[in-house]
């Protein structure tokens, strides 16, 4: 219900039931603290890698989401602070429960929820730091959602830069873990994931030209059927 209040603002009865103030003819304003949420489908191992529906407190957040997809497609949805119940079901057969997880949403905080795994899926809940970088800079973060990859090193460089003699930007990033944020000058950026302790690239991601003030999260994913070849998703945080 609390998620419904914000996402389905046209549901006047629901808004009234959950406690909101009318702010004029154009909408309603929540009276309780809110955070923001988004969801990534990273459940591999067929048939789990097929399209999914996800609800939060029973309200649709994403429908018929392909593997690696994000909901909402850009940025976040607001949700009331507190425990929100995420439910992930197969689109083709909604009786198949892929994930049920209570996610704690903190006030004035952005959260990325990644449903990750194969036969046993779990919710990887990230707290996102979307404070603006310094003028002329961007922020980039990496997430290892590919259990099959093991731990990885992450190199964030200018396109084509050699990694042969440089240290990783983030070393030994474990499966189901996120790095910190790298702040660097805006412009074209390449992200390479290697097997930890080596220069063997297992996934190469071009971010193109990232404009000043932007924040990106690069998620390393398994193949949709599980295992390799690895793939990835790039999330726009800001």
| Model confidence at 9: pLDDT above 80 | no
Q: What is the pLDDT of residue 119?
A: 74
9 vs 168, more confident: 168
Does 116 share its domain with 157? no
| Model confidence at 12: pLDDT above 60 | no
pLDDT digits (tens, 9 = 90+) for 175-226: 999 999 999 999 999 999 999 999 999 999 999 999 999 999 999 999 998 9
Q: What is the pLDDT of residue 167?
A: 98
Q: What is the pLDDT of residue 31?
A: 79
Does 9 share its domain with 98? yes
| Model confidence at 21: pLDDT above 50 | no
Does 137 share its domain with 193? yes
Long-range contacts of 230-235 (CB under 8 A, 24+ apart): 230/146, 230/148, 230/149, 230/193, 230/202, 230/203, 231/68, 231/203, 232/68, 232/193, 232/203, 232/205, 233/40, 233/42, 233/68, 233/69, 233/70, 234/205, 234/207, 235/38, 235/40, 235/70, 235/112
- Whose CA is closest to 193, among 175, 210, 181? 175
Q: What is the pLDDT of residue 15?
A: 29
| Model confidence at 2: pLDDT above 60 | no
Q: Which of 73, 96, 128 is the last residue of a domain?
A: 128
Does 58 share its domain with 3? yes
Does 28 share its domain with 84? yes
Task: Please state, in angstroms and rounded to a whole number, the distance separating the CA atoms of residues 122 and 65.
Answer: 17
Residue 98 vs residues 117, 136, 177: alpha-carbon distances, Å: 10, 42, 21
Q: What is the pLDDT of residue 47?
A: 67
Q: Which of 93, 128, 163 is the last residue of a domain?
A: 128
Q: How many domains does one find in the chain?
A: 2
Residues counted in the chain: 238
Q: In what order do the strands lie in the sheet with 187-195?
A: 170-173, 152-157, 187-195, 201-210
Does 3 share its domain with 75? yes
pLDDT digits (tens, 9 = 90+) for 89-121: 999 999 989 999 999 999 999 999 999 988 789
Residue 68 vs residues 62, 140, 152, 163, 225: alpha-carbon distances, Å: 12, 19, 19, 27, 12
Task: Please state, in angstroms and rounded to a whole number, the distance separating the CA atoms of residues 135 and 132.
Answer: 8
pLDDT digits (tens, 9 = 90+) for 52-68: 999 999 999 999 999 99
Does 120 share its domain with 146? no
- Flag the least confident range among 16-30, 42-56, 155-169, 191-205: 16-30
Task: Please state, in angstroms and rounded to a whole number, the distance separating the CA atoms of residues 30 and 52.
Answer: 29
pTM of the model: 0.88
Q: Give the model's confidence band at 236: pLDDT under 50 very low, under 70 low, under 90 confident, else very high.
A: very high
Does 123 share its domain with 138? no
Q: Which of 79, 96, 128 is the last residue of a domain?
A: 128
Average pLDDT over residues 157-166: 98
Does 193 share its domain with 97? no
Task: Please answer whether residues 111 and 38 qualify as being in contact, where contact means their C-beta atoms are separated by less than 8 angstroms.
Answer: yes
Residue 92 vs residues 23, 83, 213: alpha-carbon distances, Å: 41, 28, 40
Range of the structural domain that residue 19 is part of: 1-128
Does 192 share its domain with 230? yes
CATH number of the domain to which 230 belongs: 2.60.40
* The dihedral formed by the CA atoms of 56, 57, 60 and 63, expressed in degrees to the nearest 10: 50
Task: Please answer whether residues 59 and 71 qualify as being in contact, where contact means their C-beta atoms are separated by less than 8 angstroms.
Answer: no
Q: Give the model's confidence band at 22: pLDDT under 50 very low, under 70 low, under 90 confident, else very high.
A: very low
Does 17 share its domain with 100? yes
Does 124 share its domain with 140? no
């Amino acid at each position: 219900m609390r998620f419904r209040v914000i996402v389905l603002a046209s549901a006047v009865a629901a808004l009234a039931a959950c406690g909101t103030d009318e702010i004029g003819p154009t909408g309603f304003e929540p009276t309780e603290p809110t955070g923001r949420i988004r969801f990534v489908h990273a459940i591999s191992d067929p048939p789990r890698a097929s399209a999914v529906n996800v609800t939060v407190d029973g309200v649709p957040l994403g429908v018929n989401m392909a593997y690696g997809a994000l909901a909402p497609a850009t940025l976040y949805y607001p949700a009331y602070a507190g425990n929100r119940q995420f439910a992930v079901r197969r689109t083709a057969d909604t009786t198949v429960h892929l994930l049920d997880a209570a996610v704690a949403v903190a006030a004035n905080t952005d959260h990325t929820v990644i449903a990750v795994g194969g036969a046993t899926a779990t919710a990887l809940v990230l707290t996102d730091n979307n404070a603006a970088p310094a003028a002329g800079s961007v922020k980039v973060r990496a997430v290892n959602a590919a259990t099959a990859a093991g731990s990885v090193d992450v190199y964030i460089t200018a396109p084509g830069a050699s990694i042969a003699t440089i240290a990783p930007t983030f070393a030994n990033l474990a499966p189901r873990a996120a790095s910190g944020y790298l702040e660097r000058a805006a412009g074209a950026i390449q992200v390479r994931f290697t097997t930890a302790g080596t220069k063997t690239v297992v996934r190469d991601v071009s971010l193109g030209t990232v404009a000043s003030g932007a924040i990106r999260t690069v998620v390393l994913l398994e193949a949709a059927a599980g295992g390799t070849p690895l793939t990835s998703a790039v999330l726009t945080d800001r």
